[in-house]
Structure 1
Amino acid sequence: MSDEGWDYKKAGLDLEKYAETMSGIQPLLARTWDTARVFPPPFPPRKGGKGSGGFASLFDINPDGRYKNPVLVTCTDGVGSKLKIARQVGKFDTVGIDLVAMSVNDLICTGGEPLVFLDYIAMPADDPDLTKQLVKGISDGCVQAGCSLVGGETAILPDFYAPGDFDTAGFCAGVVERDRVIDGRAIRAGDALIGLASSGIHSNGYSLVRKIVDAAGLSVSDHVPDLGTTVGAALLEPTRIYVKPIRAVVAAHAVTGLANITGGGVPDNLGRILPPGKRAVIRRGTWPVLPVFTWLQKLGRVAQPEMDRVFNGGIGFVVAAPPAEVDGMIARLSADGVPAWVIGEIRDGETGVEIV
């Protein structure tokens, strides 16, 4: 120990820099707020960005009486090792969008409305620029999802994370009318399965992706002719947020089931909502496989069954609905900028998902 003694800065946490970080992100939260429902902080931040006048956020869940019997919906998720790609590229805003997408896309599978989002960011030393980029992406994702970023936590943990590493997690709360819950129990034989286009790999399977890319000797700055962009840009394409298109579909059409296609691909995630005695049959070739998956499969010599169970393959979300709803639903999704296709149907049989 020095003659002057220890202080927090010498231990690895610079409180002045932390205050600088906090002062730079408050406007990114405020731009997402539904001002009729979010209670603003009672006091403005003090000089240096310290303090906001409260310890928790307040949100009016039902200000206009739109819900008669509301049920709270909650979920949490992270981005996973896609963060390592962001670190290699030096670009962090798109993984902020991913963080929001991973939770809100799960939440809407209940038929619910995401209301509030909170983030947790942990790093070994304060990094105002990285934090601001992350929160900017989280803010962008919340705007896309129509939910309010009401708070979060930035944890500085020296000696816990290696230099350059960081992690982040997201937490979302929403609401659904009790008699409007969608949980798959209404799925019937003959229902159509409508697949919604993904934007890319989304945020699952990156442990395998990174091994394939590393084994091929590629760096994030290398250009891939098959993709028309660099490795880093292709791998950082943010997860599509399906909140607004799916809420429009649920409001206008009879829907029997909703599945977010994350880790486990279509088979595992669609299987989570199938009732006993119902089997989903998916027809390969009914949707265009995105070039990034063809490139990865060839580069890593990955077997098709492994591709199916790790990646989304170009389908980021699946809706089960009676056949009469299909044409109108696909037209509505297309108008909202989301390509969609009938990719299969529900049959009676042993519960599970079959790709044919």
Structure 2
Amino acid sequence: MKYKDAGVDISSLNKVKKRIAQMARATFNDNVLTGIGLFGGLYRFGDKILVSSTDSVGTKLKIATLAGNHRSVGVDIVNHCINDILTLGAMPLFFLDYIAFSELDPGILLQIFEGLSRACQTAGVALIGGETAQLPGYFQANDYDLVGFITGVVGDGELLTGSGISPGDILIGLPSSGLHTNGFSLVRRIFLKEKGCDLSDRFPELNKNLGEELLTPHRLYLNEVSRVRSLVKGIVHVTGGGFIDNIPRVLPEGLGADVYLDRWEVPPIFRLIKELGSVPEEEMYRTFNMGIGMILVVGEDLMSKVLELSGGFKIGMVVDRPGVQLQ
């Protein structure tokens, strides 16, 4: 089974995104520093650069609704958005949310905001506003959408765009906490529809029930990046598109990467998905983080120091040809 079989066609969406990027570029002024495609947008403001990004929790929300537990999804969206702008060397300033629903139990709304508030406090980010939109007839009862918007700041000399990356640079992987917020349409198709599992089911490979495993919050990498951002050349947030689509986003044109699959142990949840859904290996690495939530790109001379400071491990190398090869 592939992600497309669950209703998500990454290749088709990428083609549309290229056309969207062309239309977006028509709105740019001299303060916009990059095109569409990085993990955040860059806008010069005086002697600083503002970095903004937006994302949604996606269909992980369906799991939260089935489990009756909505506290973790607020943490998910805050951490996901912060991680995106960390890839550009930015430190987060403030966060806004958008929640849309038709009919929603007030208790659910409070659970969501409990997670949002807790995650913002942990990261030292101000939750300065948002939109709570009631849209009658648009959603099923107690279904909702949750979107986050983050703005951070970085100095000229601290900006990371990957432009200095060269062949021979090292990829250092930082462990994920689980699925994070990607691939849930395929996960739901496999576990809930094809296999008829219940979220209370337990698998010998997992140390918690299925629902608890799937709702494990997205890991925040703020502390790790803060320790090493002056030492690295680029950072990859392994989100939708997995290794195959995300690593090239930070590489100069013409360069690619070899990823050494024997350098870390893939967590059991990913092995279960692959086995139960008969998902091809390359599709797994194009859909999920496979246990690596963030990748640091560093020169070989600084590898040992970054490994020590970040707690990561070497998982690959930048090479002088385009594309990502799994070895």
Q: TM-score, length-normalised on structure 2?
A: 0.83
Q: Give the match for residue 333 of structure 1.
A: 310
Listed as ranges, the matches of 1:177-192 within 5 Å are 177-192=155-170
Within 1, Cα distance between the matches of 2:54 and 2:278? 33
Q: Percent identity of the aligned residues? A: 40
Listed as ranges, the matches of 1:142-153 within 5 Å are 142-153=120-131
Contact 2:52 2:149 in 1 (8 A): yes
Q: Give the match for residue 220 of structure 1.
A: 199
Within 1, Cα distance between the matches of 2:205 and 2:87? 34
Within 1, Cα distance between the matches of 2:308 and 2:272? 30
Give the CA deviation at 1:299.
1.2
| Structure whose CA Rg is larger | 1
Q: Give the match for residue 272 of structure 1.
A: 249
Listed as ranges, the matches of 1:67-106 within 5 Å are 69-106=47-84
Q: Any idea what SS the aligned residue of 2:54 has?
A: strand
Q: Give the match for residue 5 of structure 1.
A: none
Contact 1:68 1:177 in 2 (8 A): no
- Pair 1:137-2:108 in alignment: no
Give the CA deviation at 1:270.
0.5
Q: Give the match for residue 326 of structure 2.
A: 355
Within 2, Cα distance between the matches of 1:125 and 1:216? 30
- Pair 1:157-2:135 in alignment: yes
Q: 2:316 aligns with which of 344, 347, 351?
A: 344
Q: 1:301 aligns with which of 278, 286, 293?
A: 278
Within 2, Cα distance between the matches of 1:185 and 1:256? 8
Structure 1 portions without partners, runs of 5+:
1-66, 335-339
Within 2, Cα distance between the matches of 1:328 and 1:143? 29
Q: 2:294 aligns with which of 292, 317, 320?
A: 317
Within 1, Cα distance between the matches of 2:307 and 2:171? 11
Q: Give the match for residue 210 of structure 1.
A: 188
Q: Any idea what SS the aligned residue of 1:110 has?
A: coil
Listed as ranges, the matches of 1:240-251 within 5 Å are 240-251=219-230
Q: Any idea what SS the aligned residue of 2:239 has?
A: coil
Q: Give the match for residue 4 of structure 2.
A: none
Within 2, Cα distance between the matches of 1:99 and 1:200? 15
Encode CA deviations 1:224-258: one digit per residue, 9 max, x unaligned: 2210211101110111011221122114xx21111
- Matched letter for residue 236 of structure 1: L
- Matched letter for residue 318 of structure 2: I
Q: Give the match for residue 198 of structure 1.
A: 176
Q: Any idea what SS the aligned residue of 1:272 has?
A: helix
In structure 2, the CA distance between the partners of 1:308 and 1:126, relative to structure 1 (3 Å rule), is: closer
Within 1, Cα distance between the matches of 2:223 and 2:46? 22
Listed as ranges, the matches of 1:165-180 within 5 Å are 165-180=143-158
Within 2, Cα distance between the matches of 1:117 and 1:309? 29
- Pair 1:285-2:262 in alignment: yes
Q: CA RMSD in A?
A: 1.4
Structure 2 portions without partners, runs of 5+:
1-44
Give the CA deviation at 1:137.
0.8
Q: Give the match for residue 256 of structure 1.
A: 233
In structure 2, the CA distance between the partners of 1:144 and 1:330, relative to structure 1 (3 Å rule), is: farther
Within 1, Cα distance between the matches of 2:297 and 2:201? 40
Encode CA deviations 1:29-63: one digit per residue, 9 max, x unaligned: xxxxxxxxxxxxxxxxxxxxxxxxxxxxxxxxxxx
Q: Give the match for residue 33 of structure 1.
A: none
Within 2, Cα distance between the matches of 1:249 and 1:301? 38
- Matched letter for residue 256 of structure 1: K
Contact 2:63 2:211 in 1 (8 A): yes
Give the CA deviation at 1:143.
2.5
Contact 2:83 2:222 in 1 (8 A): yes
Shift >3 Å, 4+ stretches: none
Within 1, Cα distance between the matches of 2:178 and 2:280? 19
Q: Any idea what SS the aligned residue of 2:250 has?
A: coil
- Matched letter for residue 248 of structure 1: R
Give the CA deviation at 1:126.
4.5
Contact 2:104 2:143 in 1 (8 A): no
Encode CA deviations 1:148-173: one digit per residue, 9 max, x unaligned: 11112211222121112111100001
Encode CA deviations 1:72-110: one digit per residue, 9 max, x unaligned: 111100000000000000000111111112211111111
Q: Give the match for residue 46 of structure 1.
A: none
